Amino acid sequence: MIIIMKDNASAKEIVAVEKVLEEYGFKTHPIEGEKKTIIGAIGDKRQLSMNQILLMSGVENVVPIMKPYKLASKELQKEQSVIDVGYGVTVGGNKLAVFAGPCAIESQEQFTTVSRSVKEAGANILRGGAFKPRSSPYSFQGLEGEGLEIMYNSGKELGMPICTEVVDTRDVDLVAKYADIMQIGARNMQNFKLLREVGKTNKPILLKRGLASTMEEWLMAAEYIMSEGNENVILCERGIRTYETATRNTFDLSAIPVSKELSHLPIIADPSHATGSYKYVAPIAKGAIAAGADGLMIEVHNCPEKAASDGPQSLKPEKFNTLMKELDLIAKAVGRELL
């Protein structure tokens, strides 16, 4: 790390900072400028909080040099991770992953209908919500256990991995029993206890970006999961909160190349939650694939106007089918496979 001293820092203050750094095993390299002294400090900063130095007399600022995440970074693993999610499907390889299904699971009949249609259109992973985080306590909260069984039946019938959200540490074991991929939703991205619990399982984790999380916080959330031993983390960009109200969130396309620069983890895009409107799902999905995403998560409902949750952002099966064909052309244009 680098310690920037104040303009008028005294020699005594500079020595005091160096002394503390040395006590913690750092090698110090002071550099005297015309107005300021800066101190380069070489060592393992995990032993020492930057704050300790920041609060010392005469210190203006402390600049970290190393990234705070390790396992999620390219430091230890340079090549792209390819994650096996079951039934022969992978995320992160040349073939794109397409997670599709309704926002909420409403009944076996509804889920079977939608699942069959998305499979036919070319999706390779089923998605659906059994436990639903809803902003109102008066909204439908999901079928919970029953929903898990419904998904499980459809996954087995169609030979497709299923992905569903877990929202409570108490449910992790239950969800892990049914799901092939467990999802951590945007609102739980910094629910650290939940991250630790799913990190103790051996199921791949789909980690959605928090509503207003930075790339660094997102990779730190992945680090939480990975530090418990589960390295099968899939990132999912689903839009961030900004001042713009024309869409529900603002889809951050840059998250795709930036994550590829910083991490070996695969990343997919969720245009349904990012925009909140079925009208914008297709262009955002195409843009994400063109920019290098490893897959998509798209909400599909056979009757969006009767959906228990998030109808306005769901595609009807025939629109999803058309979109998959259009996406296939884009995938080929960037050297990937979709259908």
Which residues in the 119-148 window bind a copy of itself by CB under 8 A?
Answer: 133-138, 141
107 binds a copy of itself (CB under 8 A): no
Note the maximum CA span of the chain. 76
Neighbours of 250 (CB within 10 A): 15
Minimum distance, C-beta of residue 257 to a copy of itself, in the bound complex (Å): 4
Minimum distance, C-beta of residue 109 to a copy of itself, in the bound complex (Å): 19
Among 11, 51, 76, 202, binds a copy of itself (CB under 8 A): 51
- Of residues 240 through 259, those in contact with a copy of itself by CB under 8 A are 240-247, 250-254, 256-258
211 binds a copy of itself (CB under 8 A): yes
330 binds a copy of itself (CB under 8 A): yes
CA distances from 233 to 190, 227, 289 (A): 15, 11, 19
Among 212, 229, 325, 337, binds a copy of itself (CB under 8 A): 212
287 binds a copy of itself (CB under 8 A): yes
CA 15 to chain centre: 44
- Of residues 288 through 317, those in contact with a copy of itself by CB under 8 A are 288-292, 304-308, 310-312
CA distances from 197 to 6, 193, 316 (A): 44, 6, 35
Among 22, 23, 49, 337, binds a copy of itself (CB under 8 A): 49
Exposed, middle or buried: residue 291 (CB in 10 Å: 0-12, 13-18, 19+)? middle
Convert 303-332 to b/e letters by CB count within 10 Å (16 or more is b). ebeebbbbbebbbbbebbbebbeebbebbe
Q: How many residues bind a copy of itself (CB under 8 A)?
A: 99
Minimum distance, C-beta of residue 153 to a copy of itself, in the bound complex (Å): 25
Beta bridge partners of 42: 27
Among 148, 205, 215, 268, binds a copy of itself (CB under 8 A): 215
54 binds a copy of itself (CB under 8 A): yes
15 binds a copy of itself (CB under 8 A): no
Spatial CB neighbours of 278, under 8 Å, sequence gap ≥ 6: 272, 304, 312, 313, 314, 315, 319
Query: Nearest-CA neighbor of 37 among 66, 55, 65, 10?
Result: 10
Minimum distance, C-beta of residue 156 to a copy of itself, in the bound complex (Å): 28
- Of residues 174 through 193, those in contact with a copy of itself by CB under 8 A are 187-188, 190-193
Among 280, 294, 295, 302, binds a copy of itself (CB under 8 A): 280
CA 335, 155, 267, 251 torsion: positive or negative? Answer: positive
Neighbours of 113 (CB within 10 A): 17
